[in-house]
Amino acid sequence: MNETIAIAEDTIEVDNPQKLYGKVSVIIGTLVILIGLVVFAINVNRENSILTIVLSLITIVLGFSKLVSGGFALKKLWVPLHAPKGFIDTNLLINSIKTGEIDIYKVDKSLSSELLRLFGSKNVYYMRGDVKNIARDVGNRVVKYSVFIIFLIVLISLKIPGISISFYIFTIIVLLSGIVANFIFSFGLIPKQVPSAFRVHKTEDIQGGHPKKAFRILIDGLKYLNYDYPKRFDGTEPDSISEGVQNTGITNGFALIETQPVSTENENIPSAQLALYAGYALWILGFVFMLTKSTLSSIYLGDFALPITGILMVVIGNGLIKDSHMLFNQFHFKSNVILTEIKGEFYQSDVGVGKGMKDSLQSERRGVLSDIRFEHYIATVSSVCHTLENNRNYVSFEKNTRIEKELDDLINYVQTQKKPDLEVHGIDFTEPSASKLVQQNLALSKVESEKLPGLGSDKNDQKLLIKDDQEEESTGEPDNT
């Protein structure tokens, strides 16, 4: 069942992945503490029981650590609406979306991956993040356990006096069980499918208007599609770079925006559960063997030696528990991401306003004529993070008909909303008639007069200018007065 975790009224619903780990840790931690207390109480007044007393105290401390860890895992989380953070490497994400390739999945033929490849599939090469680190640790542990087994076999052949053969046999069995448990656990981490890098790419050309105006219309369109602006936005408005020729140059900009990530199922939970149960089974049996060496003395090195086998079981079990905790702390999300690159050329020109030197409306206005290309990329991105306090790694891209329609809707929005913005970006370069030009400049004068009252024009002058323009259109001759 989903649990609502929230701050104030801003809530998101996510599965609490640590519930099972917390419950099992609290139960086993409490049980181990009780075992340690019982053994301590029995041996506290006995002679020659110093080793057992020390081991019982260690048992109590370790049991308490698991109890605390489980308690924190069961504690309710308080997470704001925008809990999932951004991506660890935004530049890498941008390059992957543009190229349609996930560069992070370069083949890493480590010892652990090669060991798993012998019994698994080639998908082992596509593990990454925490899963990849866990698989690497598993490979290292398997190698260590194997070396230890070889060492014990050599000791058996040497027939060292004072050491029971049953000790060697039992220790080898424990090590083999650790190898098997680690292998079975790690096989579940291999991805079921090869991650995809599919995305939709479309191009949009815009002639005329100012690049920054087109950029702002683009952002408005993304808001309209419910993309999370400005929380999940990264980008720059198109800048103007001169190419050496006055009033001409190129313009560049980009926008990367994401929808609010939605929590998805963690496919590694079954492996985490297996590691949790197997780890705690070995862990608690190890403490039992450590604290009851007197009844199982035949498998130890002597009355005054440490119970090696019990300690070994605790170490093996603790490694599996640690791995399971890391997997339970994973959060998986899906979100839609749009990347837009803006490239184009522009030409700037100063346009005179008015008809004569004495005209009170005489001024200059800089206009921009541009040829802009939008390169749009859209994909559904799967991502994962270790706890909600950390940034996310992206795992794969997907494409579907819904996001293709979203991209079409965005392009249509930009095309329909693009229009001259007289107040900010100058006149429209469509060669308007003289009367239209006058009307536009009257609008500009009105804007300027509102902003700077001292520069306001006389209304009578405006009427005369319109009258002169009308006479010029009717006669076809300019007024030289």
Please state the rounded mean pLDDT for residues 306-335: 87
Instruction: Please report the pLDDT score of residue 175 as a whole number.
Output: 92
6, pLDDT greater than 50: no
Please state the rounded mean pLDDT for residues 108-130: 69
Largest CA distance in the chain: 127
Nearest-angstrom CA–CA distance, 114 and 31? 39
Per-residue b or e along 289-319, where b marks 16 or more CB atoms closer than 10 Å to that residue's CB: bbbebeebeebbbeeeeebbbbbbbbebbbb
User: Are the C-beta atoms of 331 and 129 separated by less than 8 Å?
Assistant: no
Instruction: Please report the pLDDT score of residue 112 as a whole number.
Output: 64
User: Are the C-beta atoms of 442 and 353 separated by less than 8 Å?
Assistant: no
User: Are the C-beta atoms of 209 and 299 separated by less than 8 Å?
Assistant: no
Element (H, E) at 379: strand 363-386
Instruction: Please report the pLDDT score of residue 164 as a whole number.
Output: 74
132, pLDDT greater than 50: yes
Structure tokens at 164: 């029971």
Please report, as a single letter, which amino acid is at residue 191. P
Evaluated on CA atoms 356, 358, 362, 363, the torsion sign reads positive
Instruction: Please report the pLDDT score of residue 422 as a whole number.
Output: 33
Q: How confident is the model at residue 280 (pLDDT cuts 50, 70, 90)?
A: very high
Structure tokens at 156: 């058996």
Of the given ranges (112-121, 281-290, 422-431), which has the lowest mean pLDDT? 422-431
From residue 141, alpha-carbon distances to 134, 146, 175, 319, 429 in Å are 10, 8, 10, 9, 71
Of the given ranges (277-286, 326-335, 356-365, 388-397), which has the lowest mean pLDDT? 356-365
Name the H helices within 5-89.
19-43, 50-74
Q: How confident is the model at residue 273 (pLDDT cuts 50, 70, 90)?
A: very high
Element (H, E) at 167: helix 165-187
Q: pLDDT over 90 for what percent of the chain?
A: 12
User: Are the C-beta atoms of 315 and 148 separated by less than 8 Å?
Assistant: no
Evaluated on CA atoms 187, 192, 194, 196, the torsion sign reads negative
Beta-carbon contacts of 410 under 8 Å, excluding residues fewer than 6 positions away, are: 218, 221, 222, 225, 338, 376
Please report, as a single letter, which amino acid is at residue 296. L
Instruction: Please report the pLDDT score of residue 451 as a whole number.
Output: 42
Residue-averaged pLDDT of the chain: 73
Nearest-angstrom CA–CA distance, 425 and 228? 27
36-40, 76-80, 81-85, 443-447 — which one is most confidently predicted on average? 36-40
Of the given ranges (123-132, 148-157, 253-262, 328-337), which has the lowest mean pLDDT? 123-132
Instruction: Please report the pLDDT score of residue 34 as a whole number.
Output: 92
DSSP state of 290: H
User: Are the C-beta atoms of 205 and 345 separated by less than 8 Å?
Assistant: no
Which residue is listed with tokens 């609490």?
Answer: 16
Instruction: Please report the pLDDT score of residue 275 as a whole number.
Output: 92
Is the bond preceding residue 307 a cis peptide, omega within 30 degrees? no
Q: How confident is the model at residue 274 (pLDDT cuts 50, 70, 90)?
A: very high
434, pLDDT greater than 60: no
Of 386, 98, 365, the residue nearest 256 (C-alpha): 98
Instruction: Please report the pLDDT score of residue 120 as a whole number.
Output: 62
Which residue is listed with tokens 């104030």?
Answer: 8
User: Are the C-beta atoms of 298 and 46 separated by less than 8 Å?
Assistant: no
Instruction: Please report the pLDDT score of residue 278 as a whole number.
Output: 92
Structure tokens at 322: 């640690």
Instruction: Please report the pLDDT score of residue 417 as a whole number.
Output: 73
Please state the rounded mean pLDDT for residues 8-20: 62
Radius of gyration in angstroms for the set of CA atoms belonging to the chain, rounded to a whole number? 36
Of 134, 178, 185, the residue nearest 313 (C-alpha): 178
Give residue-wise pLDDT tens across range 181-209.
Answer: 988 888 888 887 777 888 888 888 877 66
Burial (CB count <10 Å: 0-12, 13-18, 19+), residue 212:
buried
DSSP state of 299: G
Structure tokens at 189: 């981490």
How many CB atoms sit inside 10 A of residue 389's CB? 9
Nearest-angstrom CA–CA distance, 481 and 477? 12
Instruction: Please report the pLDDT score of residue 323 as a whole number.
Output: 92
DSSP state of 367: E
Nearest-angstrom CA–CA distance, 427 and 437? 9
Of 358, 363, 338, the residue nearest 426 (C-alpha): 363
172, pLDDT greater than 80: yes
Q: How confident is the model at residue 276 (pLDDT cuts 50, 70, 90)?
A: very high
Nearest-angstrom CA–CA distance, 9 and 20? 27
Instruction: Please report the pLDDT score of residue 192 as a whole number.
Output: 79
